């Protein structure tokens, strides 16, 4: 496993990470890390590598885009001094272009998204032992669908950023695509964005796989 014993793993993102985590810092007892993939990751790390005593912190915030992450990066990432950082952002950056198409002032273009993500990663990579960038996803198997096509563009930007900065890349979309060959999207996420427990397990499995945790 890539995580050294007693490592601190911080996860930052949007509602897919948030999942009712505690405020101001999502760490501790009684569901403080939320009810989604972050909780599954914490539980499986404890079950598979109990001696490592990995510390997991959830700093997801519902509705956030990469620009929101930039505004809280100092307090929610750097000040927490993680050993490893996981970033999954982009769903809202894309979604707002489709559900609120006339409110262009809140849209995050691919250029802005890629530039901002790159700036945050460049600022942080020298300060952490490891960094994982997870692609945003949309549970639509038709790749020609406009929102799916757009999401794939943003996922490609995440992959490029990871390659530039020696970060691990998790193709979350590909992980879901494999399952969508056997299940309808509605059986995983009612709105094709916010997953149920099966969807969160898919994300957790993909992340743990990148971290070298056997499942």
Closest among 22, 64, 63 to 39, alpha carbons compared: 22
64 is catalytic: no
Catalytic residue among 14, 15, 17, 76: 15
49 is catalytic: no
C-alpha span between 53 and 45 (Å, rounded): 8
Cβ-Cβ contacts under 8 Å for 131 (sequence gap 6 or more): 84, 85, 86, 87, 121, 124, 125, 165, 167, 168
What is the SS3 assignment for 195?
strand
Sheet holding 55-60, edge to edge: 55-60, 8-13, 84-88, 130-134, 168-170
17 is catalytic: no
Catalytic residue among 14, 18, 93, 194: 194
Q: Which residue numbers are catalytic?
A: 15, 191, 194
């Amino acid at each position: 496993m890539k995580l050294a014993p007693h490592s601190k793993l911080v996860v930052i993102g949007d509602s897919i990470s948030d999942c009712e985590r505690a405020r101001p810092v999502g760490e501790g007892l009684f569901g403080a890390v939320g009810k989604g993939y972050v909780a599954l990751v914490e539980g499986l790390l404890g079950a598979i590598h109990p001696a490592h005593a990995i510390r997991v912190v959830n700093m997801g915030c519902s509705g956030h885009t990469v620009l929101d992450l930039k505004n809280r990066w100092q307090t929610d990432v750097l000040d927490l001094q993680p050993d490893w950082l996981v970033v999954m952002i982009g769903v809202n950056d894309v979604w707002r272009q489709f559900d609120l198409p006339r409110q262009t002032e809140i849209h995050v273009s691919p250029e802005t998204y890629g530039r901002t993500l790159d700036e945050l990663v460049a600022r942080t990579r020298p300060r952490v032992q490891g960094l994982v960038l997870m692609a945003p996803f949309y549970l639509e198997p038709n790749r020609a669908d406009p929102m799916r096509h757009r999401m794939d563009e943003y996922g490609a930007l995440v992959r490029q950023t990871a390659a530039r900065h020696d970060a691990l890349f998790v193709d979350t979309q590909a992980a879901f695509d494999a399952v969508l060959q056997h299940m309808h999207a509605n059986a995983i996420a009612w709105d094709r964005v916010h997953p149920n427990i099966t969807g969160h397990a898919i994300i957790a499995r993909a992340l743990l796989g990148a971290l070298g945790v056997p499942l």
